[in-house]
Structure 1
Amino acid sequence: MHNFKLTILGILIALTTGCASITGSDMQQLSLTAKGDDAKSVEGVKCTLQNDKGTWEAITPSFINVRRSSEDLTVECKKDGEKDGLLKAISRAAGSMWGNIVFGGGIGAIIDHNKGTGYNYPDALPVQMGSSVIVDRKAQETTTAAK
């Protein structure tokens, strides 16, 4: 009977610890902005965001919901009178993925990987018109931790 209780306790811990597929959304809200060569904000830029889970369109400045994925997010922005802006947002594994591997035996991590819920993009997508930019959540977390 004692082993049965330990087994049940282990299952409960595995199901409730760090599983993004249960607690997280497969969507992430991102802030999309654009700046010109003079570093001033450019409004009304039409942007297309894409990863292996879908394609979304938005006009700057805005907040947009995209589907999370293990694949990077590409952003292509265009406006008459401006050079095109390109941005690549690096996808990073969320902390919940490591919790799934450690406590859940990896099953939750496989589910989160396939659904994309175990990954995050940087919260801000600052497109620089006329340039190609890479943004990484790892740098965002370092900056946030330093504050």
Structure 2
Amino acid sequence: MMIFRFVFLLTLISLLSACASVTGSPNQSVSVQARASNGKEVKEAACDLINKRGTWFITTPGTVQIHRSNDDLQVTCRKEGFDNGRASVV
């Protein structure tokens, strides 16, 4: 079984988190890409993104709008033939 290694790509707006106080936007765009331990991209992994503001579902590679939270974003991805991949995004 191969283990996922995750690369989280945030859009330019989400990288500028200081802008949240200026724009007042409660949302943030998050892109998720899954990679196997050998570095190859894993497509069509089913991922759950969870924080205190909600739960979102995405298939890799993909992008989703989440509700901003001061809590970490917990990400779990699954695909048959692979161990589950988990990450905590601060």
Q: TM-score, normalised by structure 1?
A: 0.47
Runs of 5+ in structure 2 lacking a partner? 1-18
Deviations for 1:33-68, whole angstroms, at most 9, x for unmatched residues? 000121100000000000000000000000111110
What residue number does 1:38 align with? 38
Return the offset for 1:69. 0.4
Query: Rg larger in 1 or in 2?
Result: 1
In structure 1, distance between residues paired with 2:63 and 2:43: 13
| TM-score normalised according to structure 2 size | 0.75
SS of the counterpart of 1:80? coil
Say if 1:44 and 1:19 are closer, same or farther in 2 by CA, change over 3 A.
closer
Match of 2:89 in 1: 89
> Between the two proteins, what is the percent identity of the paired residues?
35
Rate the CA distance shift 1:19–1:44 in 2: closer, same or farther, 3 A. Answer: closer
**Residue 74 of structure 2: aligned partner:** 74
Counterpart in the other structure of 1:63: 63
How far apart, in 2, do the equivalents of 1:62 and 1:19 lie? 22
1:23 corresponds in structure 2 to 23
Q: CA deviation at 1:24?
A: 2.7
C-alpha displacement at 1:31, in angstroms? 1.2
Aligned residues: 72
Please identify runs of 4+ aligned residues in structure 1 that moved more than 6 A: none
Q: Give the Å deviation of 1:29.
A: 0.4
Match for residue 143 of structure 1?
none
Residues 68-77 or 23-32, more deviating: 23-32
For residue 8 of structure 2, what is the aligned residue in structure 1? none
Give the structure with the higher percent helix: 1
* Distance in 1 of aligned mates of 2:34 and 2:20: 34
Asked if structure 1 preserves the Cα contact closer than 8 Å seen for 2:50 and 2:56, the reply is yes
